[in-house]
């Protein structure tokens, strides 16, 4: 049927778009969806050429490239292309509405048939006439039943597809917000979370602290043992940070070997305790190279601790934490400095 064809086509294009976004670790923003949907659906040959050429040159498709395509192809004057995109998205709704309308018309006819049969039964009829009415009633009921079955099947299909799409979108959103190596938030997502906590702190006066953490002599680890071991050290620190913080705390990889932690509803003294717990936990564990059973030198970290001052910017807040971290580095590393 027509609506089934529309539904299948729209679902297929949405699935392809989500798979492409996930494969290239793109954030699920509306412009990104729009560009990639048109690419996989073959709706815009110019976008297809741009993306195919970009990939063929061994370039990595990132959000900067996608945003540039969006700016080039979807300006305010390009209303027609935007409308085509929204038409594609609306096909799923159209399919459901079509089936609902068909079912509604069938139910209306069924009600009229029932009323006619009821009037006939009130009159005096012989057994042959009554038998014919009953047969017609059975046939009408079967038609109505089949119509409802088709509607339910359509709704079940859309429900399952919507559930799958929602799960895919949540997965993509999580991947876009996460540092793939450590499993912590990436810098962009961390900054967004911190901005929200700062706003909440300004409105409520709740204490808010931040830790800035750096792995001591990390460059030497990379130079001596290689980047694969360096990656394992980063993963090791990420795991231990997770073990040492509360579920309400937010940890992120801020860049390279630098990590940062948001501690909501936490004063300086409490933040220092968390910092020391992480520092001591990391120091007492020795890592071993699996292939040689060789022990690596003790991994140590330096930490800077600071608490938010009302009405200061996010940048000033983090700068103060970074300054405290720098003092830990200056005074011998493997220590916590509270501003």
Q: Which of 23, 150, 257, 294 is catalytic?
A: 257
Using the 3D structure, point to which of 157, 176, 195 is the last residue of a domain.
176
- The mean-pLDDT minimum among 185-189, 257-261, 271-275, 321-325 falls in 185-189
**Confidence tier at 135 by pLDDT (50, 70, 90):** low
Using the 3D structure, point to which of 155, 176, 197 is the last residue of a domain.
176
The pLDDT, as a whole number, for residue 77 is 40
Between 216 and 296, residue with greater pLDDT: 216
Q: Is residue 217 pLDDT above 70, yes or no? A: yes
Mark whether 299 and 207 lie in a shared domain: yes
Nearest alpha-carbon partner for 279 in 324, 228, 241: 241
Nearest alpha-carbon partner for 252 in 187, 202, 200: 187
Residue 102 resides in a domain = yes
Between 137 and 153, residue with greater pLDDT: 153
Catalytic status, residue 257: yes
Q: Is residue 121 pLDDT above 70, yes or no? A: no
The pLDDT, as a whole number, for residue 56 is 86
Q: What is the 3-state secondary structure (H, E, C) of the chain?
A: CHHHHHHHHHHHHHHHHHHHHHHCCCCCCHHHHHHHHHHHHCCCHHHHHHHHHHHHCCCCCCHHHHHHHHHHHCCCCCHHHHHHHHHHHCHHHHHHHHHHHHHHHHHHHHHHHHHHHHHHHHCCCCHHHHHHHHHHHHHHHHHHHHHHHHHHHHHHHHHHHHHHHHHHHHHHHHHHHECCCCCCECHHHHHHHHHHHHHHHHHHCCCEEEEEEEECCHHHHHHHHCHHHHHHHHHHHHHHHHHHCCCCCEEEEEECCEEEEEEECCCHHHHHHHHHHHHHHHHCCCCEECCCCEECCCCCEEEEEEECCCCCCHHHHHHHHHHHHHHHHHCCCCCEEEC
Q: Is residue 222 pLDDT above 60, yes or no? A: yes
Residue 182 resides in a domain = no
Between 154 and 1, residue with greater pLDDT: 154
The pLDDT, as a whole number, for residue 115 is 64
Q: What percent of the chain has pLDDT over 70?
A: 68
The pLDDT, as a whole number, for residue 105 is 57
Using one digit for the tens of pLDDT, what is the confidence trace for 76-115? 444 454 455 445 545 555 555 555 555 555 556 656 665 6
Using the 3D structure, point to which of 141, 176, 211 is the last residue of a domain.
176
Mark whether 61 and 164 lie in a shared domain: yes
Mark whether 266 and 242 lie in a shared domain: yes
- The mean-pLDDT minimum among 170-174, 210-214, 284-288, 305-309 falls in 170-174
**Confidence tier at 240 by pLDDT (50, 70, 90):** very high
Mark whether 140 and 221 lie in a shared domain: no
Using one digit for the tens of pLDDT, what is the confidence trace for 242-282? 999 999 999 999 988 999 999 999 999 999 999 999 999 99
The pLDDT, as a whole number, for residue 85 is 47
Mark whether 70 and 213 lie in a shared domain: no
Mean pLDDT, the chain, rounded, equals: 79
Residue 181 resides in a domain = no
Mark whether 162 and 218 lie in a shared domain: no
Using one digit for the tens of pLDDT, what is the confidence trace for 29-84? 777 887 888 888 887 788 888 898 888 888 888 888 888 887 777 654 444 544 55
Tally the domains of the chain.
Answer: 2
Mark whether 69 and 107 lie in a shared domain: yes
Q: Is residue 1 pLDDT above 50, yes or no? A: no
Tell me which residue range forms the domain holding 108: 1-176
């Amino acid at each position: 049927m027509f609506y089934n064809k529309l539904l299948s086509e729209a679902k297929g294009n949405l699935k392809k778009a989500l798979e492409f976004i996930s494969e290239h670790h793109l954030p699920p923003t509306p412009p990104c969806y729009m560009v990639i949907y048109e690419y996989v659906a073959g709706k815009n040959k110019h976008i297809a050429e741009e993306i195919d050429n970009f990939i063929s040159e061994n370039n990595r498709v990132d959000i900067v490239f996608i945003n540039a395509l969006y700016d080039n192809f979807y300006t305010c004057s390009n209303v027609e292309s935007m409308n085509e995109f929204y038409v594609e998205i609306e096909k799923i709704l159209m399919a459901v509405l079509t089936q609902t309308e068909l079912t509604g018309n069938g139910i209306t006819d069924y009600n009229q048939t029932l009323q006619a049969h009821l009037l006939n039964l009130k009159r005096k009829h012989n057994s042959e006439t009554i038998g014919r009415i009953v047969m017609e009633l059975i046939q009408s009921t079967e038609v109505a039943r089949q119509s409802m079955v088709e509607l339910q099947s359509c709704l079940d299909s859309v429900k399952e597809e919507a559930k799958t799409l929602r799960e895919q979108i949540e997965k993509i959103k999580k991947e876009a917000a996460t540092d793939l190596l450590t499993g912590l938030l990436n810098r962009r997502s961390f900054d967004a979370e911190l901005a929200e906590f700062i706003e909440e702190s300004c409105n409520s006066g709740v204490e808010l602290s931040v830790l800035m953490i750096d792995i001591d002599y990390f460059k030497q680890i990379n130079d001596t043992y290689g980047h694969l071991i360096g990656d394992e050290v980063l993963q090791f620190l990420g795991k231990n940070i997770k073990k040492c913080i509360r579920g309400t705390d937010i940890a992120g990889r801020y860049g390279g070997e630098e990590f940062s932690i948001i501690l909501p509803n936490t004063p300086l003294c409490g933040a220092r305790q968390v910092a020391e717990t992480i520092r001591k936990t990391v120091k007492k564990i020795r890592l071993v190279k699996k292939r040689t059973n060789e022990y690596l030198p003790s991994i140590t970290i330096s930490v800077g601790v600071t608490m938010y001052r009302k009405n200061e910017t996010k940048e000033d807040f983090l700068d103060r934490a970074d300054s405290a971290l720098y003092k830990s580095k200056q005074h011998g590393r493997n220590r916590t400095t509270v501003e």
